[in-house]
Amino acid sequence: MRFLRALLAWLSVPVLCLLGLILCLARPFNPDNTRILGWAVARTGRCLLGLARPLEGYENMPLDRPTVIIANHQHNDDLFLMGDLLPPRTVAIGKASLRWIPFFGQVFWLGGNILIDRKRSSRAVAVIQTTAGAMTRERKSLWIFPEGTRSHGEHLQPFKKGAFHAAIAAKAPITMVCAEAYRPETRGLLGRRRPVRLRVLPPVETHDLCSGDIAELMARCHHEMSQAIHEMGTETSA
């Protein structure tokens, strides 16, 4: 059942993306396209996986002003865990290779999201800084996995600077979404996934900061997220 559930969950993604492509073609680059599709993919995926997702602190998510949302990235299943957390008018940063994934890549692009080539770090930072201007003008929020790659449930990896450049340039708060360390394990004859807890931390304001404060800001956010992830893991295993 474990493998059947996983297969059905991931087969649902291209199907929903194909339906989402109709929405995206009807209103291309509308930033709410991603939020609607993310909600559908996450809710469908969790249902098929039998995955419960206790959520703490969602009241900390700014819904009335732009924010830069950063989250820890462990597995591809993060899509099912976090896809329905996007506030209105949120776009995401993704690696350029996503454009080649059938249906998903096309709706990601048409959803107004941003594809960057992480191998060209200076260009990637420039793109993100330009995006900060759009955040201010168009009141968009930005979702980034600052580790840049999956951790596979291990410790929180070092952060890249892009999200913090964007937040300071836009004078937008940083909102941290933390998922406890997990692996795609199942329990019971029905192959249901073990629950994975998420916690949204209070926003970190950036309106008084400048580019010289990026290192300190990164260190603070990394510490707060690491602490929250550790706390959730300790509470779950207790």
- CA distance linking residue 61 with residue 53, whole number of Å: 17
Q: What is the pLDDT of residues 191-237, one digit of tens each?
A: 999 999 999 999 999 999 998 999 999 999 999 999 999 999 888 77
pLDDT of 85 strictly over 80: yes
Q: What is the pLDDT of residues 42-56, one digit of tens each?
A: 999 999 999 999 999
For residue 56, the cross-strand partners are 199
CATH number at residue 161: 3.40.1130
Domain containing residue 38: 2-237
Task: Please count the structural domains in the chain.
Answer: 1
pTM value?
0.92
Whether 28 and 170 have beta carbons less than 8 Å apart is answered as no
Q: Lowest-confidence range among 10-19, 74-83, 119-128, 150-159? A: 119-128
- CA distance linking residue 141 with residue 173, whole number of Å: 10
